[in-house]
Structure 1
Amino acid sequence: MSAAEHLPAHQALVREAGGVRLRLRPTHPPAPGELLVATQVAGLCGTDIQMLRGLRDDPAPVIGHEGIAHVVAAGAGVPDAFRPGTPVVVNPTHRTDPSFLLGHNVDGLLQERTRIPATAVRDGLVVPLDRSPDAVLGTLIEPLAAVLYALTLLATARPRTLVVYGDGTIGQLAVRAARRRLGAGVRVLLVHHTPAGLEWSARHPVPGVRSLLAGEQGEPPPGGGERGETAPLGGEPVAALLATPRDGTLDALGSALRLGGGELTVDLFGGLPPGAASPLLPGVDLAAVRSANCAGEPVPAAFTQVTTAQGRRVRLTGHRGVGNGHLAEAAAELCRDPATYRDLVTHVVGLPEAARIMNDLSAGRKRTVAGSRLIKLAVRLAPVPPSPLETQ
């Protein structure tokens, strides 16, 4: 047995039958072309919660694709830019290699040490950070990057109104970033799916954003006329961002397609099962529309012109993953304006408490943790100094 095989074990949050357990796992040295990284902070996202609840069949025992890590060891042939101690963010989606999807089909960041496969290192998915936001905000880099990508797509329509469906992390990030990307004059509506979400937004207001409850008096009506305090959408362009869980996307799409206003552009952010379709859009493979943009490509981005069953022309778009440029832009935004986003990291815990929270979340659909609404869970991992073997 070689000396490298005697690396210390590390702690990991491992999915097992019936829940998540904090386990010790063997730490394997990086093979040629690979990196071994130490997670500083990792976030729990909506797709992670879906996996915990059995709504997705992604096989990785260790989930987590949001966060900041530091390089602790590099395999043979890895560029010198990845020297030990370098802070990095890992782009979780490989555009051309489906074998790499961090935290979904390869082990993710909710552990003290993670090996990054050679395919991800070789193709540039490990991004060194010249400047990092503080550790807690590091959990927002990847989701904010995805939001900036979506807003860039919607900006091509020059919308005068943005309607965001969904009050989780993505929806809350979107309304905070919207005016910087779409212009200071855009009107922003945030449609909540629960009273609890609406109440949270009322306690954390965003200037110029109107919060509404789906299906009740505040939601924009089909014709765009008055309802509550919502002004008519008129004939100006409207954009809708569907920041819902995957099982809520079709309902949100139906609501968006019934909006008034002028030209409508819809971003299918929330994801869809393969072959998903809507009776309002006969013959349209919505999942294929969404995945036409992947990891920042193609440029220019793909849009699909469709006609609803009622004869309205609509532009549809969406994306899987983000480009490295989106990650760098998100990190810079969080460094430049941390106060705008800090309230979204509602819970900060260590590994043992994270296991308890994840097990509670897997048992039901509530988003309340320790008596308060969960928007973003940040899991801090205690610094573990690299062993001498790791730095050789």
Structure 2
Amino acid sequence: MTAAEHIPHHQALVREAGRVRLRVRPTHAPAPGELLVAVQVAGLCGTDIQMLRGLRDDPAPVIGHEGICHVVAAGTGAPDSLSPGTPVLVNPTHRSDPSFLLGHNVDGLMQERTHIPATAVHDGLVVPLTQPPDPVLGTLIEPLAAVCYAFALLGTVGPRTLVVYGDGTIGQLAVRAARRWLGEDVRVVLVHHSRDGLEWSARHPVAGTELLLDGEGHEALRLDGPTAVLLATPRTGTLNALESALRLDCRDLTIDMFGGLPPGATSALLPGVDLAAVRAANCAGLPVPAAFTRVRGPQGRSVRLTGHRGVGNDHLLEAAAELAGRPDLYRDLVTHVVEPREAAKIMNSLSAGLGRNVAGSRLIKLAVQFPRTPPSSSLSSESA
């Protein structure tokens, strides 16, 4: 590490007793096989908000799995390709080691310095970034990679129409990226779960995208040919969106349960179908070919179901290249860019369930920028 990179303490946004507090933590050298990375910018995602609100029991005190970093120190035995100074992405999901899920059961990126465990380093989850986008857009790499994965699945059916449920970051990324991965002629429909979301989309239009509000007649859409549905919903909304999609008037329907499911989720419209197992069948880009399950939907129609967890490294690099190549298409999605102290205030407001409006505007993606100067030790006992 250079003198500028070697800091004895670092700032971290830490979950403590139901609140997020800005703390100073000691910065330790990496153990054998580990990496220490400096976080340039980190993003807050919908899953993180669920954790802040106590809807998930993930134990990591420091959340965050989206962002751009660079290596500042490597433990003995770490690959030469990950030498100090290398810009990197961290793939947050380990396909075979459940002990590593970045920002969920190991401390994540909402801090100036993050240790990456040896299991993640050894198995290639730290990815050198050869084509970095604008740093703030780095918060969109991982979610766009997940959209890329979804389109790799849905693209196998050659859809003429894409129906996206959900007006958060994933849904907004999907409608912007659809024609890149599904073809210029695909019809795109975005179904919103709130009128506020619908109004935001109307103010930030994507050419050729139809905007609808859930519950206001979208199930009567005229759909010709293969139709792909992306459930870009929080886990609390996925079942309702799934059942709404199953009622679409469509003879050739494929549904990707992107948004996750509550434990033990079942649907009366799909008796006997283990929805969680269907969703978990694809993980981090494997298997190839991907797994689909045929089910019997309402009125006896055959429906293809799929889902996925995590992303592959190729998805991350493809998303980074897309953001670097077409930044203006995605820039409006990073609606709030703040320093750590302000981030703590926003996160605490979100944890209290006070909606998605921050500083008078709708939050799509929060980007937290970490300074490269050593923090003041006076922060060590300060809360936000």
Shorter-chain TM-score: which interval?
over 0.9
Q: Does 1:294 align with 2:294?
A: no
Q: In structure 1, how many angstroms separate the alpha carbons of the residues matched to 2:373 and 2:115?
A: 15
Q: Which residue of the partner structure matches residue 389 of structure 1?
A: none
Q: Please give the per-residue CA displacement for 1:344-386, whole angstroms capped at 9, x wherever unaligned.
A: 000000000000000000001500000000000000011247x
TM-score by length of 1: 0.93
Q: What displacement does 1:81 show? A: 1.1
Q: Please give the per-residue CA displacement for 1:269-323, whole angstroms capped at 9, x wherever unaligned.
A: 0001232110000001111100100001001100011112531110000100000
Q: Which residue of the partner structure matches residue 374 of structure 1?
A: 363
Moved over 4 A (4+): none
**Residue 238 of structure 2: SS of its match in structure 1?**
helix
Q: Which residue of the partner structure matches residue 185 of structure 1?
A: 185
Q: Which residue of the partner structure matches residue 324 of structure 1?
A: 313
Q: In structure 2, how many angstroms separate the alpha carbons of the residues matched to 1:99 and 1:90?
A: 15
CA contact (8 A) 1:282 1:309 kept: no
Q: Which residue of the partner structure matches residue 274 of structure 1?
A: 263
Q: Which residue of the partner structure matches residue 237 of structure 2?
A: 248
Q: In structure 2, how many angstroms separate the alpha carbons of the residues matched to 1:105 and 1:381?
A: 22
Q: Which residue of the partner structure matches residue 11 of structure 1?
A: 11
Q: In structure 1, how many angstroms separate the alpha carbons of the residues matched to 2:246 and 2:49?
A: 28
- Of all paired residues, the percent bearing the same amino acid is 76
Q: Which residue of the partner structure matches residue 80 of structure 1?
A: 80
CA contact (8 A) 1:291 1:319 kept: yes
Pick which of 35-44 and 300-309 moved more.
Answer: 300-309
Q: What are the within-5 Å matches in structure 2 for residues 332-347 of structure 1?
A: 332-347=321-336
Q: What displacement does 1:90 show? A: 0.1
CA contact (8 A) 2:246 2:298 kept: no
Aligned pair in 2 of structure 1 residues 7, 348: CA closer, same or farther (>3 Å)? closer
RMSD, matched Cα? 1.3
Would you say how many aligned residue pairs link Structure 1 and Structure 2? 370
CA contact (8 A) 2:247 2:298 kept: no
The AA in structure 2 aligned to 1:151 is: F
Q: Please give the per-residue CA displacement for 1:125-158, whole angstroms capped at 9, x wherever unaligned.
A: 0000012111100000000000000011001111
TM-score by length of 2: 0.95
Q: What displacement does 1:261 show? A: 2.1
The AA in structure 1 aligned to 2:212 is: L
Q: In structure 2, how many angstroms separate the alpha carbons of the residues matched to 1:42 and 1:244?
A: 21
Q: Which residue of the partner structure matches residue 214 of structure 1?
A: 214
Pick which of 176-185 and 110-119 moved more.
Answer: 176-185
Q: In structure 1, how many angstroms separate the alpha carbons of the residues matched to 2:134 and 2:182?
A: 27
Q: What are the within-5 Å matches in structure 2 for residues 133-144 of structure 1?
A: 133-144=133-144
Q: In structure 2, how many angstroms separate the alpha carbons of the residues matched to 1:50 and 1:272?
A: 13
Q: Which residue of the partner structure matches residue 3 of structure 1?
A: none
Q: What displacement does 1:258 show? A: 0.4
Q: Which residue of the partner structure matches residue 106 of structure 2?
A: 106
Q: In structure 2, how many angstroms separate the alpha carbons of the residues matched to 1:339 and 1:309?
A: 41
Q: In structure 2, how many angstroms separate the alpha carbons of the residues matched to 1:149 and 1:351?
A: 31
